[in-house]
Chain A
């Protein structure tokens, strides 16, 4: 049995037969391929012993039809097996059942995630201080940008830095957020800005300053300190800006006085030189006309200058009047009793609504895919 056949015809025949075994389905080939090749080798040897090349040829004439026929049978058998499997799969794929399964799974997951997130999120308390904001100028008309400008000022460095310093937030928040390391003012400022909410009270001059914090006392303290800091800023700003403005106006007044003096001396010189009287003559000379023009300009300048002096006087008096009423704190902030964030009821309701929506989309998609797959498998089965 283990004799070595060196005959080229036998070797080639065996190799060809091994190649032809590919006509069988892979599973059949894997199970019986080696045994079939071995049987063919044995038959080849017998055929060669019997009548050499002619014997091998006769063997091929028997084996080839056998191979064609049995490979078709095995292929058909494999297809039948595959069809029964696809039928089983098709029965498993029920689009309606898949829709409900996916819907239930996605809905449950979404609701559970929303509930988990709601309870994992840190609680946040809110405290609100309310202030009445007036314009600096008593006689100022409606300024559409005034409130918006004041909002920006309330959130600016000039107001918030004093708050940070007063409440020692760099150290306090450093302990809380940076393992005891002191925060930089810019970092504290950034945190503080993120916690402030400014809302104007409709049809009033009131502004609600709301501050959020995980500590209710801290939230109230921050809101009150911001309100006070803004009030201080407005008072200080007004105190600084009014004297500076008066000084500028005074300088302008002096310049104007010098100019008037200059014009007056020129007019006096003309009057003396051409001996011009206090009344305008019937036929004035060109010099006389020049004098009267200058006199007219001088009178106008003097009139305006006197008004200017009156305004400066008024401003000086205005600056001396104390004005704490520019910013009035109408309501001080109190520590909140219950956290405002996360709103558990809203979050869970949103989770349920979102869950229904997501589940419907996911279930619909899954059912559509199942339907498509079912049609495809049915078509494939029909083809088989």
Chain B
């Protein structure tokens, strides 16, 4: 994974996550916490099906350009999410006039939605905790 400012997660963590994902598909809580790369990809796909470039752009937009995923990180993450059945490849293709029909589109599965929701909730709880300790302010 290519991160511009945040330190990259340890190599082994990605592999471990994929193994953990594959073992416990039914219990979303058991998959948490997600690595930043996995969480951002799932978050990008929460808005609908996307191809690789669109996912990368959306992650960059969400993070104000702080996270720019390289092709290796993006497709390594996609591969592991597919194996864990958190996402799936979409058979539908857009109009060839509007987009390149060779691109591969991905979308969240039911389990994927549960997992990304649970992770978002976990982040929300952390934010709430930080606010309680006045580490961050409420948005205006």
Taking Cβ atoms with an 8 Å cutoff, the residues of A that contact B are 1-2, 24, 28, 31-32, 34-40, 42-43, 62-63, 65-67, 69-74, 76-77, 80
Contact between A66 and B70 (Cβ–Cβ < 8 Å)?
yes
Contact between B79 and A28 (Cβ–Cβ < 8 Å)?
yes
Residue of A nearest to B18 (CB): A77
CA distance A37 to B1 in the complex (A): 16
Most buried by B among A1, A24, A39: A39
Closest 9 CB pairs of A and B: A66-B70, A70-B72, A36-B71, A32-B75, A66-B2, A39-B71, A42-B53, A62-B2, A66-B72
Residue B50 CB within 8 A of the other chain: no
CA distance A31 to B83 in the complex (A): 13
Contact between B52 and A69 (Cβ–Cβ < 8 Å)?
no
CA distance A34 to B102 in the complex (A): 10
Which residues on B sit within 8 Å (CB–CB) of A80? 15
Query: In angstroms, how far is the closest chain B Cβ from the Cβ of A353?
Result: 56
Contact between B53 and A72 (Cβ–Cβ < 8 Å)?
no
Asked whether A74 and B76 contact (CB < 8 A) given A39-B53, A39-B56, A62-B4, the answer is yes
Contact between A71 and B56 (Cβ–Cβ < 8 Å)?
no
CA distance A80 to B75 in the complex (A): 19
CA distance A34 to B2 in the complex (A): 20
Total A-B residue contacts, Cβ distance less than 8 Å: 76
Which residues on A sit within 8 Å (CB–CB) of B103? 35, 38
Contact between B74 and A39 (Cβ–Cβ < 8 Å)?
yes
Which residues on A sit within 8 Å (CB–CB) of B73? 66, 69-70
Query: In angstroms, how far is the closest chain B Cβ from the Cβ of A282?
Result: 145
Contact between A32 and B2 (Cβ–Cβ < 8 Å)?
no
Query: In angstroms, how far is the closest chain B Cβ from the Cβ of A76?
Result: 7
Query: In angstroms, how far is the closest chain B Cβ from the Cβ of A362?
Result: 42
Which of the residues A1, A34, A67, A76 comes within 8 Å of B72, measured between beta carbons?
A67
Contact between B72 and A69 (Cβ–Cβ < 8 Å)?
yes
**How many B residues touch the partner, as a band?**
20 to 34
Most buried by A among B52, B53, B72, B102: B72
Residue B41 CB within 8 A of the other chain: no
Query: In angstroms, how far is the closest chain B Cβ from the Cβ of A61?
Result: 9
Contact between B70 and A67 (Cβ–Cβ < 8 Å)?
yes
Which residues on B sit within 8 Å (CB–CB) of A72? 11
CA distance A343 to B5 in the complex (A): 91
Contact between B11 and A38 (Cβ–Cβ < 8 Å)?
no
Contact between A35 and B2 (Cβ–Cβ < 8 Å)?
no
Residue B64 CB within 8 A of the other chain: no
CA distance A345 to B41 in the complex (A): 78
Which residues on A sit within 8 Å (CB–CB) of B52? 35-36, 38-39
Residue B100 CB within 8 A of the other chain: yes
Contact between A62 and B70 (Cβ–Cβ < 8 Å)?
yes
CA distance A24 to B75 in the complex (A): 12
Most buried by B among A28, A31, A35, A80: A35
Asked whether A31 and B71 contact (CB < 8 A) given A62-B2, A76-B15, the answer is no
Residue B78 CB within 8 A of the other chain: yes
Contact between B104 and A71 (Cβ–Cβ < 8 Å)?
no
Residue B40 CB within 8 A of the other chain: no
Asked whether A66 and B71 contact (CB < 8 A) given A39-B52, A74-B76, the answer is yes
CA distance A62 to B3 in the complex (A): 8
Residue of B nearest to A34 (CB): B102
Residue B14 CB within 8 A of the other chain: yes
CA distance A24 to B72 in the complex (A): 9
CA distance A32 to B75 in the complex (A): 7
Residue of A nearest to B104 (CB): A35
Residue of A nearest to B55 (CB): A39
Query: In angstroms, how far is the closest chain A Cβ from the Cβ of B83?
Result: 10
Query: In angstroms, how far is the closest chain B Cβ from the Cβ of A332?
Result: 90
Residue B92 CB within 8 A of the other chain: no
Residue B68 CB within 8 A of the other chain: yes
Which residues on B sit within 8 Å (CB–CB) of A63? 2, 70-72
Most buried by B among A69, A70, A74: A70
Residue B99 CB within 8 A of the other chain: yes
Residue B8 CB within 8 A of the other chain: yes
CA distance A42 to B73 in the complex (A): 15
Contact between B2 and A65 (Cβ–Cβ < 8 Å)?
yes
Which residues on B sit within 8 Å (CB–CB) of A77? 15
CA distance A325 to B61 in the complex (A): 127
Which residues on B sit within 8 Å (CB–CB) of A42? 53
Most buried by A among B8, B15, B75: B75
Mark contacts of B92-126 with chain A using CB atoms, 8 A cut-off: 1 yes-contact digit, 0 otherwise: 00000001101110000000000000000000000
- Can you list 12 A-B contacts (CB < 8 A)? A24-B72, A36-B75, A37-B71, A38-B53, A38-B100, A39-B52, A39-B56, A43-B53, A66-B70, A67-B71, A69-B73, A71-B72
CA distance A139 to B120 in the complex (A): 128
Query: In angstroms, how far is the closest chain B Cβ from the Cβ of A62?
Result: 5
Residue of B nearest to A36 (CB): B71
